[in-house]
Structure 1
Amino acid sequence: MDDAEGFVQVAQHGRVAEIRLARVGARNALSTRMAERLVDAARQVSAGDARAVVLSSAVAGAFCVGADLKERNGLSDREFLAQRHVFRRAFGAVRELPIPVVAAVHGFALGGGYELALCCDLIVADRTAVVGLPEVTRGIVPGGGGTQLLPRRVGPGVAADLILTGRHVQAGEAARLGLVDRLVEAGDDGRVAREVAEQIAGNSPVAVRNARNAVRRALDVDLAAGLDVEDAAWRAAVFSDDRREGVRAFVERRAPRWP
């Protein structure tokens, strides 16, 4: 499949939506048209009623190998800049999805491919995963959020190691360094990511939304300000109908029916 319409697919699994990268002929290399389709897919999911999202790959051996360098080789400087705006919208669309996003990573997740995973809240990777930000080896700087998201995830030292050397990191080391969150057996990334997303989707939407916001804000403020953010999130949840239903369901020994 190598038609623009098929580059990115959207599926619904009950309360979980799945955005599936499916540019099979190019190992999900991000072209301009594929980036545009990713924006469309994110909008489609945002307009639906899903409570969590899985970002996955339909391509064997690759999550996403990064930007399509064959396409870029033929771009003028003006066209390169035009593509830059499209790519920023695509990465922003994933990062700003209003519900939690779990990446399911197998095979190569390099450059923009790994940055797509970094835009997600959690990364589930199987043992075939290879991650890295090799942009400097091609005279480029990571531009999908890598220089900002990776230090927030693993600290400046580990981030500098990956970004300045451009090296590839195998799954085991990636898990040890915190480059991915859960390491699973080969072929299990999609299943486990959907299970994690389903677990998230089963929780209070009000509580999940506010807790997620508090976690994200914690990266940008000092501790005192962060505790105020947490207090605001707590108040938004505790005075909601979700809290009332959650406590009532616990007392009545039944599953909650979130309003």
Structure 2
Amino acid sequence: MTVRRHAVAGTDPADGYVAELVLDRPRAMNAVSTALARSLAAACAALAADDAVRVTVLTSTSPRAFCVGADLKERNGLSDAELLRTRPVARAAYTGVLELPMPTVAAVHGYALGGGFELALACDLIVADPSAVVGLPEVSVGVLPGGGGTQLLPRRVGAARAAELIFTARRVPAAEAAGLGLVDLLVEEGTDRAEALALAHRIAANSPVGVRAAKRALRLGYGQELRAGLEIEDAAWRTVAFSGDRAEGVAAFNEKRAPRWPGV
């Protein structure tokens, strides 16, 4: 894994940045080996602890794929006991992406299959170019989506559509994926990374305290009964109402200037 920092336009680099989390195993099309999973989990833990990170973008150095999922060549040589020992490592990687406290954007081109698509699903937003092919084909090799796919996919497209996609193991091309809501933004060929970073910078221009609280309310409230969801929203509001960001935002609005978010 590689982590790159991008200063937010118009701000002091010390005020915060966009993090680019790079899947960097191009010869294997970023197949998730145990080593890659460990590296990803560690990188996510570091980003989660860094209050200066405003948005994280997950990208790939492979020209052919975002990520093709689990490294089946590695797994082919594992005993049952060894396979079981890899499970917490894999879960830590996928959970690490899912639980990042700042907004996350996946930049997808080429294959995003199995665990690769689950990494994208763990992000808040998915940007894809026309070369993207997504899917959860795990049942075709005798397993099931174990990186969050059975839970995250129905939250995107509904239970019946998720069942069809998972049970048939079919691969979905970019145009259809956009129509089904499997990806959020379909961009021109070869621009997925640039467009994902541009989207991240638009998000990062806003209050980091407000944006993180909004993500928390969205994640915790989804699927709750309305009254419970509104209580979650109220709790999130209370965390930002007396923050430095709120004071700066109101002052900047009244003074007709760009805000300088303190991030607290």
Band of TM-score, shorter chain: over 0.9
Q: Which residue of 2 aligns with 1:93?
A: 96
Which one of 227, 230, 246 corresponds to residue 227 of structure 1? 230
Q: TM-score, normalised by structure 1?
A: 0.95
Once residues 64 and 91 of structure 2 are traced to their aligned partners in structure 1, the CA distance between those partners, rounded to angstroms, is 26
Which one of 29, 32, 36 corresponds to residue 31 of structure 2? 29
Q: Which residue of 2 aligns with 1:238?
A: 241
Once residues 92 and 238 of structure 2 are traced to their aligned partners in structure 1, the CA distance between those partners, rounded to angstroms, is 33
Q: List per-residue Cα deviations over 1:21-56 (Å, max 9, x = no partner).
A: 011111001111111111122123234322110000
Answer whether contact 2:67 2:115 (CA < 8 A) is retained.
Answer: yes
- Structure 1 stretch displaced more, 193-202 or 54-63: 193-202
Q: Which residue of 2 aligns with 1:65?
A: 68
Could you tell me which amino acid in structure 1 is paired with residue 178 of structure 2?
A: A
Give secondary structure in 2 for the equivalent of 1:51.
Answer: strand
Give secondary structure in 2 for the equivalent of 1:45.
Answer: helix
**Is 1:115 the counterpart of 2:137 in the alignment?**
no
Answer whether contact 2:59 2:108 (CA < 8 A) is retained.
Answer: yes
**Is 1:198 the counterpart of 2:201 in the alignment?**
yes
**Is 1:141 the counterpart of 2:144 in the alignment?**
yes
Could you tell me which amino acid in structure 2 is paired with residue 10 of structure 1?
A: V
Once residues 105 and 210 of structure 1 are traced to their aligned partners in structure 2, the CA distance between those partners, rounded to angstroms, is 26
**Is 1:180 the counterpart of 2:199 in the alignment?**
no
Once residues 25 and 189 of structure 1 are traced to their aligned partners in structure 2, the CA distance between those partners, rounded to angstroms, is 20
Once residues 135 and 164 of structure 1 are traced to their aligned partners in structure 2, the CA distance between those partners, rounded to angstroms, is 9
Q: List per-residue Cα deviations over 1:127-171 (Å, max 9, x = no partner).
A: 111000000000001000000011111110111111100000000
Once residues 65 and 139 of structure 2 are traced to their aligned partners in structure 1, the CA distance between those partners, rounded to angstroms, is 21
Q: Where does the alignment leave 5 or more consecutive residues of structure 1 unmatched?
A: 1-7
Answer whether contact 2:101 2:216 (CA < 8 A) is retained.
Answer: no
Answer whether contact 2:101 2:215 (CA < 8 A) is retained.
Answer: no
- Structure 1 stretch displaced more, 15-24 or 241-250: 241-250
Q: TM-score, normalised by structure 2?
A: 0.93
Q: Which residue of 2 aligns with 1:3?
A: none
CA RMSD of aligned residues (A): 1.0
Could you tell me which amino acid in structure 2 is paired with residue 13 of structure 1?
A: H
Could you tell me which amino acid in structure 1 is paired with residue 250 of structure 2?
A: V
Could you tell me which amino acid in structure 2 is paired with residue 190 of structure 1?
A: R
Give secondary structure in 2 for the equivalent of 1:212.
Answer: helix
**Is 1:12 the counterpart of 2:5 in the alignment?**
yes
Once residues 147 and 108 of structure 1 are traced to their aligned partners in structure 2, the CA distance between those partners, rounded to angstroms, is 19
Give secondary structure in 2 for the equivalent of 1:216.
Answer: helix
Give secondary structure in 2 for the equivalent of 1:164.
Answer: helix
Aligned length: 252
* Cα deviation, residue 95, structure 1: 0.9
Once residues 147 and 106 of structure 2 are traced to their aligned partners in structure 1, the CA distance between those partners, rounded to angstroms, is 15
- Give the alignment of 1:33-52 within 5 angstroms: 33-48=35-50, 49-52=52-55
* Cα deviation, residue 210, structure 1: 1.0
